Structure 1
Amino acid sequence: MIEIETLSVERDHAPVLHDLSLALPAGGLTALIGPNGAGKSSLLLTLAGLIAPRAGRVRLDGEDIHAMRPQARALRLAFLGQEQAQVSRLTVREMVGFGRWPHHRGRPGPADRAAVAGALALFGLGELAERPVSSLSGGQRQRTQIAMAHAQATPLVLLDEPLSALDPRYAREVMEALVAMAHDPAAPRGVVVVLHDLGMAARYADHVVAMKHGRLVAAGPRREVMRDAVLSALFDTGLKLREVEGAQVVLPA
């Protein structure tokens, strides 16, 4: 479980998170939603230990994330931000394999190769495994990065807008893969995802955290947060949820 206690954060000397307190469940898929400038990415960076809070603290299973050594933290959580590293000659398999570095420290074994193979299969990258990452489309590169985070095999995975470069087919497939990862009976994980697509949040998230102006608006199980009144107030425009062919969709009111 992630426990966030009276968290306040500044970036470039400007406050971006204000006195935030909430708990994120240890398992399942949690969606962070809210308008631009809500503080979603800043919260994710703070959870990853990449931004130090001005006040408050973040605990992972009772341990202060910002007090962990980087090597220990890399075994506990995986983070994928919006800005991805540019690579040239690496193949898809090699790129995904970087997720195993915290485990083998340069000496990969059978377990590491199996983890890479599983990530390639889960995210539909098997046929691209030997292709240079530089030759991929933006969406294929995005899936490679997500597969790398999966291969890291951490109990917590943090993803900032992982659907941004994906067409509808692959966005759906990635969300289904993230749900499978979160609910894997052999090794369930907590997956926290920043989403701008409210339909994806309504369809796939187990839990939702709604933010606005760096403050918490609502948090809880999806059906408690994804409601007409909450979403309309969150985005300052009329929105309504409706069920279409068994799936929740968000429509203009």
Structure 2
Amino acid sequence: MISARGVCAAHEGGARVLHDVDVDVRPGAVTALIGPNGAGKSTLLAVMARLLEPQEGVVLLDGQDVRAQKGEHVARRMAVLRQDTHLAVRLSVRELVMLGRFPHTGGRPTPHDRRLAQEAIEEVALAELADRRLDQLSGGQRQRAHLAMALCQVAGADVSAAPDGGPRDGEHLLLDEPLAALDVKHSVAIMRLLRRRAAERGASVVVVVHDIGFAAAHADHVVAMREGRVVADGPTADVMTAAVLSDLYDTEVEVHDLGGRRLVAYHG
């Protein structure tokens, strides 16, 4: 599990962005971070991923301060998808995804690592484009390639049974706008993939999502943020309500139940 306790943070030279944030990202579930622009969602993700040092508080990975753990140990179990996914565009999809195995291989991949990379490529439906260069892909295809790299990075983490019979903490996926540039078909497919990953492998998955409809339909747990603070935190059914969302976004939001899923409609 990933836990933030009393986290306050600011970007270099800027005002404080996060204020006393407490959040748990549990194994076996998809946790969505939602909120208006400037709410602190991406900043919180960066602090969890050790990309930004908190001014106060602590982030715990499996009960221990993530900053005190060895970088290579964390990198084998925690993968981060950032918004600014700029890498050499002359890499092929396969080469990019194989970079995710570096924490495990030190640059000397085995046939097992190559097999894991192929599986990740297939999971995001890019098998036919595996040897295509990134600069020859659409924005959505590049996004899926970067997601495959994250999936490949944590593949093979320990997901055996814990002493209490539940899933042991294994993979940790921190994904900032994983649906960016994706069409509806691929957005649905990726959210279903993340749900399966969480359910079948005990993965802790946290996603920053701007489309609250996808959060309502696919997340197990939702954390709503505004102005650097958590204003609602709980199961999707408890947070994704008309009252909470209308207040959060300062606009009228309607929520309907259809077939066991929440559908969100918003208008001026």
Q: TM-score scaled to structure 1, two decimals?
A: 0.95
Distance 2:65 2:77 in 1: 12
Residues 1:41 and 2:42 aligned together: yes
Q: What pairs up with 1:98-117 in 2 under 5 angstroms? A: 98-117=99-118
Report deviation, 1:114.
1.6
Residue 202, structure 1, aligned to residue 203, structure 2: no
- CA contact 2:27–2:198 (8 Å) conserved in 1: no
Q: Judge which range, 17-26 or 95-104, deviates more.
A: 17-26
Percent of residue pairs bearing the same amino acid type: 46
Aligned to 1:57, what secondary structure does the other structure show?
A: strand
* Aligned-residue offset at 1:245: 5.4
| Segments ≥4 residues shifted beyond 6 Å | none
CA distance in 2, matches of 1:88, 1:193: 25
Residues 35-44 or 59-68, more deviating: 59-68
Cα RMSD (Å): 1.4
Cα separation, 2, equivalents of 1:218 and 1:243: 20
* Distance in structure 2 (CA, Å) of the matches to 1:48 and 1:178: 18
The reply on whether 1:226 has 2:240 as its aligned counterpart is yes
Q: CA deviation at 1:101?
A: 0.8
Residue of structure 2 equivalent to 1:126: 127
Q: Which moved more, 1:238-247 or 1:95-104?
A: 238-247
Between 1:195-204 and 1:10-19, the stretch displaced more is 10-19
Superposed CA offset, 1:155-203 (max 9, x none): 100000111111111111111111121122xx22111000001110011
How far 1:66 moved relative to its partner?
1.7
The structure 2 residue matched to 1:178, chosen from 194, 199, 203, is 194
Instruction: Give the Cα separation in 2 of the matches to 1:3 and 1:162.
Output: 21
CA positional deviation for 1:246: 5.1
User: 1:56-92 CA distances to partner (integer Å, 9 max, x unpaired)?
Assistant: 1010111111222322221121001000123232111
Conserved 8 A contact 2:31-2:207: yes
What does 1:17-166 correspond to in 2, within 5 Å?
A: 17-153=18-154, 155-166=171-182
Contiguous gaps of at least 5 residues in structure 2 = 158-170
The count of residues paired between Structure 1 and Structure 2 equals 251
* Corresponding residue number in structure 2 for 1:2: 2
**Which residue of structure 1 lines up, in the alignment, with residue 164 of structure 2?**
none
> What is the CA-CA distance between 1:238 and the residue it aligns to?
1.5
AA in 2 matched with 1:104: T
CA distance in 2, matches of 1:230, 1:87: 42
Distance in 2 between residues matched to 1:198 and 1:170, nearest whole Å: 16
Deviates more, 1:139-148 or 1:235-244: 235-244
Describe the SS at the equivalent of 1:26: coil
Uncovered stretches (5+) of structure 1, i.e. residues with no partner: none
Could you tell me how far apart the structure 2 residues matched to 1:143 and 1:67 are? 32
* Structure 1 residue 228 displacement after superposition: 1.1
- For residues 212 and 128 of structure 2, the distance between their equivalents in structure 1, rounded to whole angstroms, comes to 31
SS for the counterpart of 1:220 is strand
CA–CA separation in structure 1 for the residues paired with 2:219 and 2:248 = 18
In structure 2, give the amino acid aligned to 1:101: F
Please state if 1:242 is matched with 2:256: yes
